[in-house]
Chain A
């Protein structure tokens, strides 16, 4: 991703993105490390510190041994492991809670409906109103993640042909739509089961409140006998580990390639960069340990992850959108826009308060009902600031000549036609099928 910004814009935009991206990967891998540490703590009864250090050691070995290809091969295997390890849990937990209708009758309707309770923030426990949900999560964060997250895009880049690369995100959308059934439904079932006097309860957090991060593991202990329990826990570990290894590898790439080779030492032999990469892996894992402790201060991992995405992916999505579709966008524009977007994210977080988070700039201009609402609005402000400032600064500076933008901007790029392909290999029919499935699911769970 930073490399595209260098070709499309200039060195400073690439460097800025590389820096914010490096910070984000460290946070993301710290979050996975926290989750894995929590799991070891639960299974092995170790202290959190010992558990985090054990997971750090595992990732270090894992990342040292494997490259991108092995990481992708592992991810495919891990995907099936996650599906086969979690799906039986979802089925058993829902059956025990009385089937879908029995489960739905035991919990507030907001937990089984997507749209009927989002007109006002007070109607749902997320504390999010419709605009914040649609613009913040639906538009900025979702597109930002799906289009500009290095980890996701890198998978498409590894495809063997242009047409396969174009199909990658569309095909990936189908299993992604199924994932909520095996990762969210057990969580909903856990709430219903904890109200059924079966002896099951969601564990409480040290600071008060329920620890939803442990819903899945405690549920497994109730429904899986030893045997499947081992496989289920392996599936959980696999998913955290792939998240960590992917982020550490990405940090390694961005630091060594975009920052170290680009600025600190140019033109050294490959063996030198390989050595730097190794050292970076160790440094990245060490920094992740520190961020794993930060993650303990959040209600749940998702809150923390969305906050990080709001700072990094949200403004970047505006930069890519303008850079790819508006040839008038300039390097100065993109750089000031990115800077303004990240500053807007920081200002929103510093001037607003939600569940005692944020407000570090002294004055509090608004209090959000939940950190999730705060995160969505941080993303909205970051994206809007980047979008507007990029346009204004671009209009005030000289654009690159069209000849320099060949293959970098949509209108100046030859798009390969797939007319000879069967329909299921062409992007347009696949995209229509994805949209139809999304609409259907939203109507079903409205």
Chain B
């Protein structure tokens, strides 16, 4: 049994970086939301992913 925290950490760190970079690079906004959702959610996912990696053995 491998430590589940590692794949979870890798998955969310990568997705976080991709989504955050999309937020920085693109000025596209959702129809009903003016905030940069991609950037904020991307950073949150990256933080979660890094915490998971830090917790894993």
Q: A73-B4, A80-B12, A84-B45 are in contact. Are A225 and B32 (CB under 8 A)?
A: no
Secondary structure class of chain A's binding surface, majority of residues: helix
**Bound Cα distance A76, B19 (Å):** 21
**Bound Cα distance A228, B19 (Å):** 7
Interface 1/0 per residue, A217-257 and B, CB below 8 Å: 00001111111110100000000000000000000000000
Contact A225 B8 (CB under 8 A): no
Residue of B nearest to A198 (CB): B32
**Bound Cα distance A200, B31 (Å):** 10
Give every chain A residue within 8 A of B18 (Cβ-Cβ).
227
Say yes or no for A199: interface residue by CB 8 A criterion.
Answer: yes
Contact A76 B31 (CB under 8 A): no
Closest CB in chain A relative to B36 CB, distance in Å:
8
**Bound Cα distance A227, B8 (Å):** 19
Contact A92 B11 (CB under 8 A): no
Q: A84-B45, A228-B38, A231-B19 are in contact. Are A223 and B8 (CB under 8 A)?
A: no
Contact B8 A224 (CB under 8 A): no
Say yes or no for A77: interface residue by CB 8 A criterion.
Answer: yes
Q: A227-B38, A228-B19 are in contact. Are A84 and B12 (CB under 8 A)?
A: yes
Say yes or no for A88: interface residue by CB 8 A criterion.
Answer: yes
Identify B15's interface contact among A193, A223, A231, CB under 8 A: A231
Give every chain A residue within 8 A of B26 (Cβ-Cβ).
225-227
In the complex, the number of residue pairs spanning A and B with C-beta atoms less than 8 Å apart equals: 72
Within 8 A of A (CB), among B31-48: 31-33, 35, 37-38, 40-42, 44-45, 48
Contact B23 A92 (CB under 8 A): no
Residue of A nearest to B45 (CB): A84
Contact B8 A228 (CB under 8 A): no
Q: A84-B44, A88-B37, A231-B19 are in contact. Are A224 and B30 (CB under 8 A)?
A: yes
Q: A76-B8, A84-B44, A200-B32 are in contact. Are A224 and B37 (CB under 8 A)?
A: yes
Contact A227 B12 (CB under 8 A): no
- B18, B26, B33, B42, most chain A CB atoms within 10 A: B33
Closest CB in chain A relative to B26 CB, distance in Å:
7
Contact B30 A223 (CB under 8 A): yes
Give every chain B residue within 8 A of A229 (Cβ-Cβ).
30
Closest CB in chain A relative to B55 CB, distance in Å:
13
Give every chain B residue within 8 A of A76 (Cβ-Cβ).
4, 8
**Bound Cα distance A81, B8 (Å):** 9
Give every chain A residue within 8 A of B4 (Cβ-Cβ).
73, 76-77
Closest CB in chain A relative to B37 CB, distance in Å:
5
Identify B31's interface contact among A73, A80, A222, A231, CB under 8 A: A222
Say yes or no for A96: interface residue by CB 8 A criterion.
Answer: yes
Contact B33 A96 (CB under 8 A): yes
For the complex with contacts A84-B12, A199-B31, A199-B32, 15 further pairs of A-B residues with Cβ separation under 8 Å are A76-B8, A80-B8, A81-B11, A84-B44, A92-B35, A96-B32, A224-B30, A225-B23, A225-B26, A225-B28, A225-B38, A227-B18, A227-B22, A227-B23, A228-B37
Binding site for A on B (CB under 8 A): 4, 7-8, 11-12, 15, 18-19, 22-23, 26, 28-33, 35, 37-38, 40-42, 44-45, 48
Q: Which 4 A-B pairs have the closest CB atoms?
A: A227-B22, A227-B38, A222-B32, A225-B30
